Structure formats: C-alpha cells, structure tokens
Amino acid sequence: MKDIIKAIKRAGLIGRGGACFPTAAKWTMVKDAPGKVKYVVCNAAEGEPGIKKDGYILENYPDRVIDGLKLAIKFLGATKAYIYLNPRYYKKLRKNLEKAIGDLPIEIFKKDFSAGYIGGEESSALNHIEGKRIEPRLRPPFPPTRGLMDCPTLINNVETFYNVSLVNSGEYKNERFYTVGGDCLYDGVYKFGENLTIERILKQTGNWPRFNFFVQVGGDASGEVLNSSQLRRPATGGGSITIYSLIKHRPNDLLRRWLDFFTEESCGQCTPCREGVYRLREILDAPFPDWKLFGSLLKNLHETAICGLGSSVPIPIESYVKNVLIKMPENEIRLKGINKKVVCECFN
C-alpha cells in the first residue's frame, strides 16, 4: 500500500477542506504515529455558507468517497472510519451511503444541528463523536498523533477521499469542484482544472456579470473578498465563488452580516472570539463608531483566537475594506464616521 502514497505525492493532492495541507504528508504522519488503534474521519460537516461541493459529491459519487475511505483504512490499518455528516444531508444521502459502505468498518455519524459552524472544525468534530462538548481542542497535540479516543486519527474532507480514489484508479485529472453562487444566473457546483482562474470559471459557466461586482472566495463567511480586477488567480480554500452586485450590497449590511454570523456561531470557549466579535458588532452599531478600535480588535482576533473561526473574522472584513470599499466613491461608502482617509489609517 506504500504505492498509494507515492501516487498521491505525484498527483500533488492537497486537502480540500480549506487548509490545503498536503494529503500524502498527513497520511504518512498518521501511519508513522505510535499506536495500535487508529481511526479515519471523513469530514462532511460543510457548515461554511456558500459551499455545496461536499453534498454534491456525496450525492453523485458515493462509491468514490467510500473507496477513498477504504484505501485509507487499509493503508493505516485503521480500526474504524466515520463519516461526520452534515444533518441537512443525512436524511437525503444516508441510504445510498450505507449501500456503498456495505460491510466495511465505516459508521455514519450525524452532526447535530446545534453543533453549528464550529462543529465542522476538526477537533470539535472529534469531541462531538466522543460525546464531549462541541468545541475546539487546544493544540498540540494534533489529530494525526492524538485524535479520536486519544488515538492517531486521519481527518480529510469529502473531496480529498474522492480524489484519492481517482488517483488510485489512474483517473485523476488535476481537477476540483467549485461552488458558484450569489448574484448570478447559473449557480451550482462545477468541475474544472484546479489552477483555472476565477475569471475563467465565471466566464465558462456563463456567470461573468454585466454589472459592477466583487466576489468572495472560499466561503460566504470566512472567504476573502476580491474586486473584479483581481480575478486572474485560482480559487482557494473550499473552492466557492460568490458574486455580489456592488450596488445591491451596501457596506454596513455586509459588515453586519459577517459579524452576526460569527457572533452566533462562536462556541464561547476563548475570550478573544467570545468578547471580540461581540464588541466589533457593538462598535458597528454605535452612534459614533470607533473605527481605530475596530481595526485593532480585528488584528487581535487573528493573533489570539484558539481556532479558525475567531482567526477568520478579519479575512472578509479587511479584504472587503482594502479591495472594495476603499475604491468606492466617497459619497457611496455610507458608513458612520468613516471616509477613505480613516479606512487607510484603520485597516492597513
């Protein structure tokens, strides 16, 4: 089974859950970790708004995903594997997945609705499967050495296991799945080369707007915001591209939407996230917002939050300000107590 690692390396596979960690390196870490009992987890939580590819893959290619899990179990000598499944997909996809699983040691674990966005973070998922409080673990140790039940654990995204199956059968073509949505005519999940630019994806799907627009790449909550002149680059992270009309989506509404999401989804474990996001929302609604403090809190969150939720809060806000807001005409910014000079000072 060492040949599968060589094949994965040759294919240059990276994780498709957003972190983009080299797949072969992660599999090797779990293989080399001491311990007789090892586990495999397919993370199908897909809680990031705007991303739908995992549900699409599980619905259309369940056999491929299960084959990828089977290869991982065999390579690691794993005791058991889990499919950590988004509750919206469970009712629709469970029977077909169980048929594909057959007598393999793979269990479908239904993620609770109450687990929310943070329940998709890999260590939160492990806690959920173990019946513990659904919150991120302090790291190190990391899952490849001490994961589920304190044993070495391989956690990969749905698309990663799908790709491993293609690599093993010699059918991998350096492609990936993209979710296109927002203010467009043909939203959906598409498959293109992994290095195709955002611009080409939108044009080839018939979704290049005829109006002033910007996009958010990698998810509607934590994704990076780019203006229409920045799209000659590949999509990153979870492979989603959401289109926003510049006229339709006003700055205050967008900032509030992002902050509302992170406020509601914070697990409350760490102070920077629990208090910081709440304070950001409070500043936004104040009669005279302290934008300097707003910018400082964003930087603090990035540096001190325990998990990816807190550290992701600055990504959409800072990129939106730097790439979109600052290029808008002064009279269209319409944020209380702010102008282009203040933007430059507070969000550099």
326: DSSP letter? G
Among 1.20.81.30, 3.40.50.720, 1.20.1440.230, 3.10.400.10, name the CATH number for the domain at 251-346. 1.20.1440.230
Query: What is the block-wise mean pLDDT of the chain (348 residues), using blocks of 10 residues?
Result: 86 82 95 97 95 97 98 98 97 96 98 91 96 91 96 97 97 96 97 95 98 96 96 90 95 92 84 87 91 90 80 92 88 76 75
118: DSSP letter? G
Among 57, 106, 61, 63, residue whose Cα is nearest residue 86: 57
- What's the farthest any 2 CA atoms get from each other in the chain? 65
Enumerate the domain spans of the chain: 2-168, 175-245, 251-346
pLDDT at 108: 98
Which residues, 6 or more positions from 119, have their beta carbon under 8 angstroms from its beta carbon?
Answer: 45, 47, 111, 112, 125, 128, 134
Q: What share of the chain is helix, strand, coil (3-state, %, to 5)?
A: 50, 15, 35
Which residues, 6 or more positions from 178, have their beta carbon under 8 angstroms from its beta carbon?
Answer: 53, 189, 190, 191, 192, 201, 235, 239, 240, 241
pTM of the model: 0.93
Q: Is the peptide bond before 141 cis (omega within 30 degrees of 0)?
A: yes
pLDDT at 2: 54
First to last CA, the chain: 50
pLDDT at 342: 78
Domain over 2-168 is classified CATH 3.40.50.11540 = yes
- Residues 346, 80: Cα–Cα separation, whole Å: 50
CATH topology of domain 175-245: Ubiquitin-like (UB roll) (3.10.20)
pLDDT at 6: 95
